């Protein structure tokens, strides 16, 4: 509490631990949103890829087997890419939280 010209002004001072928790929460939320957007973009690209290969098979039905051999983006690849995105996001989170813990934060 600080008194200024007859008025009492209360300043909410956050403890060090609470500031770190708040910053970690915000970093976590933003990194998760980032890799969710990567997953959504990857799903969009996969759907576009499937549509284009379907068009190609319709345009060249006699080559459907060859076209299918060229179709590399199957569910196994999708699972692999999803895992890599999630692993990368989780690794980034661990690194950032580890770095945040090295700082002593104060509020204004």
Q: What are 22-32's pLDDT values in tens digits?
A: 899 999 999 99
- Beta-strand relationship, 2-4 and 7-9: antiparallel
Helices (H), 60-105: 64-70, 75-100
pLDDT recorded at residue 103:
83
Domain residue extents for the chain: 36-108
Q: Nearest Cα to 56, choosing from 41, 71, 74?
A: 71
pLDDT along the chain (108 residues), means of 10: 48 68 92 96 97 97 96 96 96 93 79
Rounded to whole angstroms, the Cα distance separating 38 from 85 reads: 7
Whole-structure pTM value: 0.75
């Amino acid at each position: 509490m600080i008194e200024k010209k007859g008025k009492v002004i209360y300043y909410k001072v956050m403890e060090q631990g609470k500031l770190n928790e708040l910053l970690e929460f915000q970093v976590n939320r933003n990194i998760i949103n980032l890799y969710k957007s990567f997953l959504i973009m990857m799903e969009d690209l996969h759907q576009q890829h499937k549509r284009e290969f379907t068009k190609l098979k319709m345009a060249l039905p006699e080559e459907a087997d060859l076209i299918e051999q060229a179709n590399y983006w199957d569910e196994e690849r999708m699972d692999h890419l999803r895992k890599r995105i999630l692993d990368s996001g989780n690794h980034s989170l661990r690194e950032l939280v580890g770095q945040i813990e090295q700082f002593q934060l104060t509020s204004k």
